[in-house]
A and B are shown apart, each in its own frame.
Chain A
Amino acid sequence: MGKRIAKEVSIAIADAVAQCKVDVISAYPITPQTHIVEHLAELVNNGELDAEYIPVESEHAAMSACIGASAAGARTFTSTAAQGLLLMYENLYIASALRLPIVMVIANRAVSAPISIWNDHSDVMSMRDAGWIHTFAENGQEAVDLIYHAYRVAEKTLLPVAVNIDGFTLSHVVEPVELLDQELVDKFVPPLRMKYKLDPRKPISIGAIGLPEIYTEAKKAQDEALKASYKVILRCWREYEKMTGRAYNPVETYQMEDAEVALLIMGSLAETAMNAVNRLRKKGKKVGLLRFRLWRPFPQREFIKAIGKVKALAVVDRAVSHCSTGGPVGIEVRSALYQSNKRPKVVNFIAGLSGRDVTVDDFEEMFERTFEAVSKRPKEAYEIYGVKE
């Protein structure tokens, strides 16, 4: 067993990436991801990590270089946030369609305008359709565990994986973190072997034109691949649990067994919400908490199971989808429910935009409002919470 040390989460993530013996790091700095790429540069330049570090000149170049390196058979890593993620947008779709096992850490940050460096989920929500596997970490240990998991899953499924951490509120905090022993990492993340890659001994052509008579089939094949990755993701978590004792599921539940009203949120704010659940439980209210650890592929089955018999569900989004039928997560949750027979009332709050604090009191109030929704459906599809009128 490894030792639990207090580490800044960004540093711990970089250490985990280094343990995975990454071959190529393609890095462009952007707040709040900088500590990850800085620490990786330090490890490379000190000779502690044998990798090629490409200090690219933009995020678009960062993802482009990852695509090239991955296609040539190298294990790659990059990291970005907000504007950087949006700048590499076309490459996100390309990376997944070309089936490249790239791992990227997104330090979730609010998108301009107004320009902001603080945390919310508007950046990652913009790439829901891009075909990547997404996981969300709640704390430092989980972030590190999701890195090892990401490489294993990416290389088994040949799909890119994004590990999402809340910018500043998770990336920059110091938490007790235990890295795996190197032998365990080597076993869990064995050397990358790609059947098809850019190699003069076996030439292939990557990136041919998708004429109308084949594009549909190509997208179907990609969709099926992402669908099939679900089982692999779960199986890798089972394997990880056997190895470390830490169990991870697609949907994290807290006090949901007899909950009448529940709240769903993603990322590290879930820990604050848990305190609200504890408070309300002491007052005798039957409340519970849900968190999507896996966002793509959408954990439909686990979600429907987890909500049990709740009469109302509050979805707390960390991003706006202007004038749609809810926040990004709200839209998908309502759609998922419609596919099932369960019909809890859904209340959709959008909170914590650009790092605005969401307190235990705020969550308590959201729970109260959700109890009201049991008998009376809210008028608005979504509400930006805590706005100063």
Chain B
Amino acid sequence: MPKHEGLMSWKELLPGMYIDEPGNSKKFKTGDWRAYKPVLDKEKCIKCAMCYILCPDLCYTKDEEGFFQVDLYYCKGCGICAANCPKGAITMVLEEA
């Protein structure tokens, strides 16, 4: 889209430019920011939830077995999960192009 064009018609805006779709940033992909991605070794994981609680980007969800899986759609590859895993179960791996 050319830079000098508006995003949407002024008539489509809510009064005051309010946003009435809470949490819709979840549609926005931040996963393409990263260079490294976290990889979990389930053998070492003790399901302590540290990765889940410390992720600034809310990437972790618990699966049926109780392991925490990362959502690569949002993961920015910061490495906090890997650096703080008490068992070193997460390693940051360079992502293929």
Contacts and interface: CB of A to CB of B under 8 A. Distances in A.
Partners in one complex: yes
B7 A213 contact: yes
B3 A212 contact: yes
A218 B18 CA distance: 10
Contacts of A100: 16
Given A203-B22, A205-B22, A98 B16 contact: yes
B3 A221 contact: no
A93 interface: no
Interface residues of A, number: 24
A217 interface: yes
Contact of A217 (B3, B8, B22): B8
Interface of A: 97-100, 158, 196, 202-206, 208, 210-214, 216-218, 220-221, 224-225
B-side interface mostly? loop
Interface in B10-67: 10-11, 13-20, 22
A218 B5 contact: no
B43 to A, nearest CB: 41
Nearest to A203: B22
A100 B17 CA distance: 12
Nearest to B22: A203
Given A212-B3, A213-B3, A213-B5, A221 B18 contact: no
A39 B14 CA distance: 38
A214 B8 contact: yes
Q: Interface residues of B toward A: which range?
A: 10 to 19
A206 B18 contact: yes
Given A205-B22, A208-B19, A217 B7 contact: yes
B25 to A, nearest CB: 10
B15 to A, nearest CB: 4
Nearest to A213: B7
Contact of B6 (A97, A99, A203, A216): A216
B17 A210 contact: yes
Contacts of A204: 18-20, 22
Contacts of A214: 6-8, 13, 17
Contacts of B7: 211, 213-214, 217
Given A214-B6, A218-B13, 9 more contacts: A97-B16, A158-B16, A204-B18, A212-B3, A213-B3, A213-B5, A213-B7, A221-B11, A221-B17
A208 B17 contact: yes
A158 B15 contact: yes
A43 B22 CA distance: 40
B92 to A, nearest CB: 32
Contacts of A210: 17
A157 to B, nearest CB: 10
26 contacts: A97-B17, A196-B16, A196-B18, A196-B20, A202-B20, A204-B18, A205-B18, A205-B22, A206-B16, A206-B18, A208-B17, A210-B17, A211-B7, A213-B5, A213-B7, A214-B8, A214-B17, A216-B6, A217-B7, A217-B8, A217-B13, A218-B13, A218-B17, A221-B13, A221-B15, A221-B17
A214 B14 CA distance: 12
